[in-house]
Amino acid sequence: MTVFEHPLNERIRSFMRLQQLFERLDHHLNGLSRIDLHASIGVLLEAYELTSRNNLKTEAIKELERQKQAFQPPLSAQSSTDEAHDEEAADDGDKPAADKDEDEDEDAAADAEEAALQARLTLENITALRNALHAQPPRSSHHLQNNDFLNSVRQRCGINGSGSTYDLPLYHFWLDRDVIDCRNTIIEWMEPYKQLREAINLILDNIRHQARFETIVAERGFYQNSLKSDRTPQLVRVHIPEKADIYPEISAGIHRITIRFMQYNSANEKPVQNLDDITFEIATCAI
């Protein structure tokens, strides 16, 4: 299945953009050519512009705090869990043969215990990353802002065909140096973003796993519905079959979502709406 995602607020939209930039950077850093190094520098500068403009560190801390509150179990639930453990220990010695209903109850209890354990692990990860971000200096990307070499490259990045040998001789010289040394330098420049990247990955992973997909039919290639949830929706995910020659155009706000399924013929033809009934899966994610 192919997954299409649509963020429902600016914070999640920025997080997804930065996550994709980091994934692109990983890809280019695995290459061993000057073209890969040039692409890595371009992505690094994009990440710097995005983080410095939107103050994503502060946004990540706020979202971690919000998720921590959401995953915090209520005191009544914790008390009930402790009582259940006490009762199980007391009855363990003289428990009669379990029938089908008892087996189902035990399975449900085991599932609940596993979910509680997973929630505790998630809370520990959230707390650790929140503390790590708090401990960082206020301007952790200051080293990039004051780097004359990167500033000279950034000033030329907006020009079409930039990076020519006559534009930036120092950059040309640097790209021809040992690839491993240049790669390690880029990784060193990215080090202050390590905690932010881990935090955003955790935030988005938590959000993506907070909803199950349901099967829907879009009549004549069109679907519209209100976003009903006890919590504010943050992300919409749409599954379509991998080899289907259709793709969704998603328009959504806080209260309503609209999806039009477009027919793909080739990159040289303008897509049109598919008028068949389309079966797809959708998940509305919220924490």
Walk me through the domains of the chain, giving residue ranges and CATH numbers.
10-209 (1.10.3900.10), 211-285 (2.60.440.10)
CA of residue 135 relative to chain centroid, distance: 23
What does the pLDDT profile of the chain (287 residues) look like in tens digits?
789 999 999 999 999 999 999 999 999 999 888 899 999 999 999 998 888 877 889 999 999 999 999 888 765 555 555 554 555 444 555 555 555 566 566 666 666 677 677 778 889 999 999 999 988 877 666 778 888 888 888 887 666 665 566 678 888 899 999 999 999 999 999 998 999 999 999 999 999 998 899 999 999 999 999 887 678 889 999 999 877 899 999 998 778 899 999 999 888 999 999 999 999 999 999 88
pTM: 0.82
From the number of C-beta atoms within 10 Å of its C-beta (0-12, 13-18, 19+), residue 179 rates as: middle
Return the pLDDT at 67: 92
Of 230, 206, 200, 232, nearest to 119 by C-alpha is 206
From the number of C-beta atoms within 10 Å of its C-beta (0-12, 13-18, 19+), residue 96 rates as: exposed
Cα–Cα distance, 221 to 263 (Å, whole number): 9
Return the pLDDT at 158: 63
Return the pLDDT at 287: 85
Q: What is the CA radius of gyration of the chain?
A: 25
Return the pLDDT at 116: 75
Cα–Cα distance, 136 to 80 (Å, whole number): 39
Terminal CA-to-CA distance of the chain, rounded, Å? 24
